[in-house]
Amino acid sequence: MLTTLKNSLKAYNSNRICNMSTTESYLRILVGVVLFILSLINNWNGILIFSVIFAYTGVIRYCTFYRVFNLNKKIVLESLYLKYLPKYNPNPILMLDKIGNIVFRNNPAKKELGLDDLLKFFKDEPITIIKENKSVDIKYKTETGKYFLINLQGVSKINYILAYATDITEVVKAEEEIINTQKDIVYTMGAIGETRSNETGNHVKRVALYSEILALKYGLSKEEAELLKLASPMHDIGKVGIKDEILNKPGKLTPKEFSIMKTHSKLGFNMLKNSDKKILKTAAIVAYEHHEKWDGTGYPRKLKGKDIHIYGRITAVADVFDALGSKRVYKDAWSLDEIFKLFKEQRGKHFDPLLVDIFFENFDEFDEIRKKYIDK
């Protein structure tokens, strides 16, 4: 295959060779001979010379017409591509040069994949892939909403990348359906924990969205922020193991009752810790650590400062802000002034000081969520 490829490339760069088929060569010779004979019979001197030249181009497979219109290079290069890329393959197939230009697309690629988006998509990777003969898989979404898995195969000997695309739209949709189902389960389980203590489902929604904002502003990636948003609704799932008379007691808990209440963090962690799912693993961390305090006076392990996982620190701010501003069986909702005062006092004590700063700097976003998901 590589020998054929090298020969094709040689033909591509040649100024002499024309990529003429054997059939065309024979036809030129035949037409030239016929014209030569007719010219002799009819004294067509001009045609006589032309017939000789025409027949000769068939013998040496040389054609000025091809060279003038650059068809020689185009045809040879097309032939080269088709050696590697089946023209009639039902899947989109492309070839890229070393700077990311698309030099060949089969018909499915032209139909399914947008050219402008592809050029931007392939802009930075080609040289590295070619030099290292790497094989890279990337997921690409078209303007029409289809998803393709594109395998890029660098071929350093020819300085090109072969790209094979497979439609994975149905697979992606199935994955999204699974994720949405997981979201529903997480929110439902979180809501179960909250309703045990007469709290509303809107509490877990607000905490989830507050947590996402804090995560992004803190500098976590979009993926981590999304993961925390999905997991944080389960911060109090351990409350399902606490007796109703403690959860719903209208007054202050006794020291013994509060000691029992504090076990919900460990209960939630134990419920979730053995899962191999990212969402539930994250939820286990949140459940276990969202009652820890920056100064080490929290529970259940009295962790301090950055020994507390960032997921726990973020959820602590989100949960306390929402809980203080909401009515509970044991208290009325606090005013914003009261909440702000507590957060300023507890900066560096209960809460990570940087997260408190982020909270105040972006309060408009928190307030928008608070007003959107009002308890009924």
Q: Please, are residues 81 and 109 in contact by the beta-carbon 8 Å criterion? A: no
Distance CA 26, CA 39 (A): 20
pLDDT tens track for 296-348: 999 999 999 999 999 999 999 999 999 999 887 677 889 999 999 999 999 99
Residues near 57 by Cβ (< 8 Å), separated by ≥ 6?
A: 28, 63, 64
Contact 196, 240 (CB under 8 A): yes
Which residues on adjacent β-strands are paired with residue 105?
A: 94
> Residue 347's pLDDT is what?
97
Which of the four pLDDT bands, split at 50, 70 and 90, describes residue 13? very low
Q: Which amino acid is at 240?
A: V
Per the CB < 8 A criterion, the answer to whether 122 and 114 are in contact is no
Least confident piece of the model among 6-20, 185-199, 306-320: 6-20
**pTM of the entire predicted model:** 0.58
Preceding peptide of 86 cis, ω within 30°: no
Closest CA to 214 of 229, 235, 231: 229
**Confidence (pLDDT) at 109:** 82
The pLDDT assigned to 122 comes to: 62
Under a CB-based contact definition with an 8 Å cutoff, are residues 92 and 117 in contact?
no
Higher pLDDT, 231 or 32: 231
pLDDT at 296: 97
Q: Report the candidate in 349, 232, 321, 337 with the shortest Cα–Cα distance to residue 285.
A: 232
Domains defined for the chain, CATH in brackets = 2-72 (no CATH), 85-167 (3.30.450.20), 172-372 (1.10.3210.10)
- What whole-number distance in Å separates Cα of residue 249 and Cα of residue 197? 9
* Higher pLDDT pick, 163 / 324: 324
Q: In angstroms, rounded to a whole number, what is the distance separating the alpha carbons of residues 40 and 324?
A: 109
Token pair 């931007």 is at which residue?
Answer: 120
DSSP 195-217: HTTT--HHHHHHHHHHHHHHHHH
- Tokens encoding 146: 């289809």
> What are the structure tokens assigned to 279, written together?
């969402």
Pick from 127, 129, 126, 105: nearest CA to 115 = 105
Residue 339 near residue 317 (C-beta atoms within 8 A): no
Q: What's the pLDDT band for 18 if we cut at 50, 70, 90?
A: low
Tell me what percent of the residues of the chain surpass a pLDDT of 90: 34
DSSP state of 133: T
Query: Where in the sequence numbering do the catalytic residues fall?
Result: 239
| pLDDT above 60 for 83 | no
Q: What are residue 350's DSSP bridge partners?
A: none
Structure tokens that stand for 331 in this block:
């208290």
Q: Model confidence at 132, in pLDDT bands (50, 70, 90)?
A: low
Read off the pLDDT of residues 225-259 as tens digits, 9 standing for 90 and up: 999 999 998 898 888 888 888 888 888 889 999 99
Distance CA 211, CA 314 (A): 6
